[in-house]
A and B are shown apart, each in its own frame.
Chain A
Amino acid sequence: QKEVEQDPGPLSVPEGAIVSLNCTYSNSAFQYFMWYRQYSRKGPELLMYTYSSGNKEDGRFTAQVDKSSKYISLFIRDSQPSDSATYLCAMRSDQGAQKLVFGQGTRLTINP
């Protein structure tokens, strides 16, 4: 079993829809949770960063962490074609070596 599970998709939605992306994890020591966006042939770009449980909002993006269920989500409101990319969740603990563990990434397409 992988430490971080993420449905690779692909996921295709119409412009303006609310998008929900999710990851589950098995390591209860994870405390830092991140979402990255990766456009084709580019490096991962940090979108959202959350420490421990809770919600965080930044513009059209909302990140949620539920540590009791070992489940994290990223919501995109009013989705735009420019949001089409691969979204990767990543997480790490606050102990030991600083290793970010990634999900497989979900490929998202927003259709005009």
Chain B
Amino acid sequence: DTAVSQTPKYLVTQMGNDKSIKCEQNLGHDTMYWYKQDSKKFLKIMFSYNNKELIINETVPNRFSPKSPDKAHLNLHINSLELGDSAVYFCASSSYAEAFFGQGTRLTVV
């Protein structure tokens, strides 16, 4: 049973389109995150939610909008996609310290 699952795994889309990535965790954690991993493998936090409340927003363009309908789900909607948005996006959830990651969504904007 997958602990943190995100869909889709791959996403290829044209510039200017709007797309969403979904994430669900079954670990019972209160905190969920979105991270972006660039081509050099550097993982950078984008957002964090605790019990459906936004607690971290790391200077991400407002084309990116997270939504947490409940504490087990954290979705990421991206408007007006740009070439520079191409990356791997990871969802994660955590207990007090350890974080567990999903398998990633490889987004390619063409």
Contacts and interface: CB of A to CB of B under 8 A. Distances in A.
B79 interface: no
Contacts of A44: 43, 90, 101
B42 A98 contact: no
Interface residues on chain B, size class: 20 to 34
Given A34-B98, A92-B97, A99-B48, A43 B41 contact: no
A81 interface: no
A61 interface: no
A71 interface: no
Contacts of A45: 101
Contacts of A107: 41
Chain A interface, DSSP helix/strand/loop, else mixed: strand
Contacts of A41: 104, 106
A25 interface: no
Contact of A38 (B33, B41, B55): B41
B103 interface: yes
B31 A88 contact: no
A54 interface: no
B42 to A, nearest CB: 5
Contact of A51 (B90, B94, B97): B97
B43 A98 contact: no
B102 interface: yes
A42 B102 CA distance: 8
Interface string B84-104: 000000101010111111111
Interface string A24-42: 0000000010101010011
Contacts of B102: 43
A45 B42 CA distance: 15
B55 A8 contact: no
A48 to B, nearest CB: 10
A90 B43 CA distance: 10
B40 A104 contact: yes
Interface of B: 4, 31, 33, 40-45, 48, 50, 55-56, 90, 92, 94, 96-104, 106
